[in-house]
Amino acid sequence: MQLGRFGIWRRYQDGSEHAAAIEELGYSAIWVGGSPMLADVRPFLETTSSIAVVTGILNVWRNEPAAVAAGNSELRSEFGDRFLLGIGIGHPEATAEYKTPLAKMREFFDGLDSADPTVPVDERLMAALGPKMLDLSAERSLGTHPYFTSVEHTRFARERVGPDKLVAPEVAVVVDPDPESGRAKAREYASLYLGLTNYTSNLLRFGFTEQDIADGGSDRLIDAVVPHGSAEQVAEAVRAHIDAGADHVCIQPKGGDDLADYRALAAVLL
């Protein structure tokens, strides 16, 4: 699958109404987020003709490998390699059964491998943040899809998975030339993730402190993880992930007008 350089991350709950426009603007992938089920992905495929559609991510606690494998086979038989299965562990605050995440991911991969039909390694990728999860993503999938991370993490992920694996970070952005209102919107978006331990633990690994995480996030943290500014400034921040080793960046605009942001960023990135 050729994901190209830049895609759009969009919650399945927000609907597929802009999927055709995203394709027409020249983006190369739509990442369907919000822990979708496979049925939630179908409208994005049905309303487009050539763009790649990726689950970003399907939560392994909510799905059984055999059913996922069957659904993957059905979607790929109908839409070819336009569909790519992204899976991930989620976060402990959302899953009562959450335990031994590395073992759970290995178990899920084992289930995909033993299903009939299987999900081949080159038809799946994995969300990963920490070193062991990144190692597993390289061992058992196409590569990794980190979320809510900095450029430094992208650089680390590339070094960890090696030169031949996919690194496709999500980058939330705010297109707003006013520094204060742009940062305020970015901080509002970040508030959820700064309360989730898998994301905060990862930020602590990459030079941020408890003080950076407290009280809604320091300016330093917000600016690094949720770039904001004019379309040109945001594009520069997105390209920094490519320079750090990403193959593809899926952009999640949080400025309030999705379609306008898609257009503004397409004009400077594509």
Q: What is the pLDDT of residues 55-104, one digit of tens each?
A: 999 999 999 999 999 999 999 999 999 999 999 998 766 665 667 899 99
Work out the average pLDDT over 155-175.
Answer: 98
Work out the average pLDDT over 24-40.
Answer: 97
Report which residue type is found at 49. Answer: S
| pLDDT score, position 95 | 64
| pLDDT score, position 99 | 73
**Containing H/E element for 138?**
helix 131-140
| pLDDT score, position 40 | 98
Own/partner long-range contacts of 254-259 (Cβ < 8 Å, ≥24 apart): 254/172, 254/173, 254/174, 254/185, 254/186, 254/189, 254/226, 255/173, 255/174, 255/175, 255/176, 255/182, 255/185, 256/185, 258/10, 258/14, 258/18, 259/18, 259/21
Q: Which pLDDT tens digit goes with each residue over 222-250? A: 999 999 999 999 999 999 999 999 999 99
Distance CA 93, CA 82 (A): 32
| pLDDT score, position 1 | 62
Indicate whether 48 pLDDT > 70: yes
Q: What is the pTM of this model?
A: 0.96
Q: Which pLDDT tens digit goes with each residue over 140-163? A: 999 999 999 999 999 999 999 999
Extract the tokens encoding 79: 């839409």
**Containing H/E element for 87?**
strand 83-88
| pLDDT score, position 90 | 86
Distance CA 101, CA 122 (A): 22
Distance CA 154, CA 249 (A): 10
Write out the CATH class of domain 6-173+231-269: alpha beta
Q: Is the peptide bond before 169 cis (omega within 30 degrees of 0)?
A: no
| pLDDT score, position 93 | 61
Torsion of CA 246, 250, 252, 253, to 10 degrees: 90
- Helix then strand count (H, E) for the chain reads 12, 11
Extract the tokens encoding 160: 């960890």
3-state secondary structure of 158: helix
Beta bridge partners of residue 210, listed in sequence order = none
| pLDDT score, position 94 | 62
| pLDDT score, position 257 | 93
Question: Residue 189 — very low, low, confident or very high, per pLDDT cuts 50/70/90?
Answer: very high
Work out the average pLDDT over 38-67.
Answer: 97
